[in-house]
Structures are given as C-alpha cells and as structure tokens.
C-alpha cells in the first residue's frame, strides 16, 4: 500500500494567517476570540466570536478571482496557495498564472465544508425580499454552494484530477483528509490538496447557532476566556472561521522530486453514532470506534500515540462524552496521553477545524510540543485526562491523532506519524 506524506501546509485562522504565526500562537496559548465585528450584535445574546483578522485575499489570489468567491472559498484558496508554495509545487505559466508542477490529471482537490457561503445566502435573500429576483446577484448560486472552494482551487491551479467537497458538518475537514488518503493509496492520484474551510460570521449563522443554545453567552465581557474545553465552568462553544489546507502526496512521488516530507498521514477512521442529530452519543462508543479504526489503519497500537487533538468544543455534552470516547479507544493508555483542544484558542471553525487541527498535529510532531488547552482552570470531574492545561508542554511525539465530531453523529479521525 502506498504511503502518503504531507509536503505543504497553509492556514488562515483567528490566531494567524500563516503557518509561522499559527505555530507561535499555539505555543503562546493565544486566544483568537474577541468582540464580534462582522455585524451589529445589539439584538443578539451572543456578542463574541473568533474572527479571521487582517485578511487580504489579494496577497494570495487574483483580485478578480477573489471578487467571485464567498469568504470561505477565499480562505481555502489562500491557504492552498501557502501549502502549494511550501510543497514546492507552483510555477508561473506564460500567462503569469500560477500552476501546479505535478501532473494535473493526477492532482486533485478534496475539501471539507459544512455550510457554504452563508454571507452570499443572507445578502441574496435580503435583495430578493426587498426588490424581487431581478435584484439578486447573478453569481448567487455558484458562490453559495459548498463545492465552490474545491472547484475554484482546481481552476486557479489547473488541477484536473478529482475535485469535490466532503460535507459531514464539523467532521468535514477531517473526513476530506481521509478521502484524500484513500485516493492516493488507491493509485488514483499522486497529489491532493486537502483540508477544510468555513465562514459563518453573519446574523443568520450566529443566530442559528444561538437558537440551538450551543454558543457561549456568559463571557461577552471577557471573550478570550469564553472557550474553555473540559473546564467545569464552560457554557458553550465560540464560533470561529478559517481554513487549514495540506498538500498530500504519495511518498514515492515526493521522493522522486526531492520534496521535504513533513509527516506521514498514516491512518483514517470513520463511524456514525446513529444517536442524535446534534448531540454525540454520551457513551463515546461511536467516536471510540473511529479512533480505534484510525490507529489500526495506521498499523499502530493505542500505546504508540503520544498526542490526541480533541474535538473539544467547550459544550456541556461534548467534553465528557469525548473523554469517554478517548478512554474507550485507548484503554489505560488514555491516562498517559497528552490531550488538548486548540478550539480553546481558535474557537470552533466548523469544517475549517479539521484542517487546522491536522496542521497542529504535524507541527507538534515536527517541533516536539503539545499545544495547550487554555482557560482550563477548574477541570470537570468527568473530564479527568491530561488536557495540557493553559501552558505549552514539550516532549517527543512519534504519532498523533486528531478527531472531529459532526452534527448528525459523524465521527472522523486521522493519524499522523513522524516520517
């Protein structure tokens, strides 16, 4: 079976718009949560979010292209450009366009997205109801649909292999990486641009999650303290946005061109809870099966994993059920694991989380650090593992796993190992 390696990474996030800034923020335990600026929150109970700041898409993509993209697509395209640049797979053609240097017919794009272009939907509905259909923007449909990011990246960089979108809510980014792994292993592709992207910072998005009673509302006056996974005083997640993109290649392809292999994507596990449309199975059985499947797929045992990047949303139901999920999969080794949730810093970026958290695992393996779970001041008694509270820790990491759980009972887990 072909080995699959990571050769490039790119990120647009609430804690940094480059791999360097993202890494520094993870080590410093920097919160990306602040007062929401995207719109007037006077009528909203929720007034905080983890927004992407100082984002200018023209740094990475053509201005004309960017104007035809929803925000989540701009994030994905910018992060993809960073990842392809690091991988050494870009060249300019005679027209000045950047194109991949790999065989375009064997280069694909697999992205995760949960919701699509929410701001496009919102603005188009306003114009429809105020002035009728003739006032709707002509590109409403192609800009709002979830597959827009994968299609645009394919067109920008001239890739002609598979280009599609995985939609499993908050597990979408992780499942996209798993689908890419399988495509390369099978021999269908040599290179895949994979990860996840999301942006829901509009009244419709915040309002919808607020009505589900899933968002934090207790700390509007101290937003940096609001996302507190596994803490007894948590009261919901903080909505974030952004994208995490990885360039994946077959090991043979990467070696043939002399590429630096950052880590091996070694395993993928997936399962469904078959329990509830928004809540995870409180027993943790479904997620435990996904973890066990990913470790087995990687050819490893539970004791071979040193770090687990948790879904860790900071909600009342998720955190204890995820703790049970980890114990189900790892047994006694669960108490020897380092477990943390970077959502304490980035907020919950929905499909973008899977890509960002996979990148955090690769960085952890390469640089030997365990990202902290910030704001963990008083652990929930039901959450009794080592969650790396508040400050970064250092140590050798040979293998790390990252799991995400999505509305609908979707569980996805990937395993990375040192290359």
DSSP characters over 143-200:
HHSTTHHHHHHHHHHT--S-EEEE--GGGHHHHHHHHHHHHHHTTS-SEEEEEEEE--
Comparing CA positions, the residue from 321, 418, 318, 350 lying closest to residue 175 is 350
**Residue 194 token pair:** 């994979």
Q: Output the pLDDT for position 223.
A: 98
Q: Which fold would CATH assign to domain 4-263?
A: Peroxisomal Thiolase; Chain A, domain 1 (3.40.47)
pLDDT at 228: 98
Residue 95 predicted with pLDDT over 80: no
pLDDT at residue 96 greater than cutoff 80: no
At the top level of CATH, the class of 267-417 is alpha beta
Tokens standing for residue 358: 């996979």
Confidence tier at 364 by pLDDT (50, 70, 90): very high
Q: Is 237 helix (H, G, I), strand (E, B) or coil?
A: strand
- pLDDT computed for residue 283 by the predictor: 93
Give the tens place of pLDDT for each residue, 174-183.
Answer: 999 999 999 9
Q: What are phi and psi of 272, to 5 degrees?
A: -125, 140
Q: Which residues pair with 370 in a beta bridge?
A: 393
248 vs 20, 54, 161, 394, CA distance in Å?
A: 20, 28, 14, 26
Range 331-341 average pLDDT: 98
pLDDT (tens digit per residue) in 292-333: 999 999 999 999 999 999 999 999 999 999 999 999 999 999
| Per-residue confidence (pLDDT) for residue 208, from 0 to 100 | 94
Catalytic residue numbers read: 170, 311, 348
pLDDT at 1: 85
Tell me the pLDDT tens digit for each residue of 13-69. Answer: 999 999 999 999 999 999 999 999 999 999 999 999 999 999 999 999 999 999 999
Percent of the residues in the chain that have a pLDDT greater than 70, as a whole number: 100
- Supply the DSSP symbol for 229: T
Q: What is the maximum span of the chain, computed from C-alpha positions, in angstroms? A: 63
CA distance 405 to 60: 31
Q: Where in the chain is the domain with CATH 3.40.47.10?
A: 4-263, 267-417
């Amino acid at each position: 079976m072909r080995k699959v390696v990571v050769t490039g990474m790119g990120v647009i996030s609430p804690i940094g718009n480059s791999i360097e800034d993202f890494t520094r923020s993870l080590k410093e335990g920097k919160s990306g949560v602040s007062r929401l600026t995207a719109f007037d929150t006077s009528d909203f109970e929720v007034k905080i979010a983890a927004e992407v700041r100082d984002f200018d898409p023209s740094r990475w993509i053509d201005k004309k292209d960017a104007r035809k993209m929803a925000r989540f697509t701009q994030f994905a395209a910018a992060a993809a450009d960073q990842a392809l640049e690091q991988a050494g797979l870009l060249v300019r053609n005679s027209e000045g366009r950047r194109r991949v240097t790999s065989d375009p017919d064997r280069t694909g794009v697999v992205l995760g997205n949960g919701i699509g272009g929410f701001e496009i939907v919102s603005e188009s509905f306003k114009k429809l109801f105020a002035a009728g259909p003739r006032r709707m923007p002509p590109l409403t449909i192609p800009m709002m649909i979830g597959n827009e990011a994968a299609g645009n990246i394919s067109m920008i960089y001239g890739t002609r292999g598979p280009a599609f979108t995985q939609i499993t809510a908050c597990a979408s980014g992780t499942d996209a990486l798993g689908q890419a792994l399988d495509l390369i292993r099978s021999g269908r592709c040599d290179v895949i641009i994979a990860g996840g992207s999301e942006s829901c910072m509009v009244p419709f998005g915040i309002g919808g999650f607020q009505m589900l009673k899933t968002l934090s509302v207790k700390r509007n006056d101290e937003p940096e303290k609001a996302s507190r996974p596994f803490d007894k005083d948590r009261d919901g997640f903080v909505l974030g946005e952004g994208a995490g993109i990885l360039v994946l290649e077959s090991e043979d392809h990467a070696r043939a061109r002399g590429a630096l292999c950052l880590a091996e994507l070694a395993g993928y596990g997936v399962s469904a809870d078959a329990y509830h449309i928004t809540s995870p199975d409180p027993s943790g059985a479904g997620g435990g099966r996904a973890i066990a499947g990913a470790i087995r797929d990687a050819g490893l045992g539970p004791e071979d994993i040193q770090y687990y990047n948790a879904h860790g949303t900071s909600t009342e139901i998720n955190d204890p059920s995820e703790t049970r999920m980890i114990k189900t999969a790892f047994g006694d080794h669960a108490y020897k694991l380092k477990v943390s949730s970077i959502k304490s810093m980035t907020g919950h970026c929905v499909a973008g989380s899977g890509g960002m958290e996979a990148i955090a695992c690769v960085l952890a393996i390469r640089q030997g650090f365990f990202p902290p779970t910030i704001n963990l001041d008083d652990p929930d008694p039901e959450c009794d593992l080592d969650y790396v509270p508040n400050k970064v820790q250092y140590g050798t990491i040979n293998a790390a796993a990252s799991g995400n759980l999505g509305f609908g009972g979707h569980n996805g887990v990937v395993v990375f190992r040192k290359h």
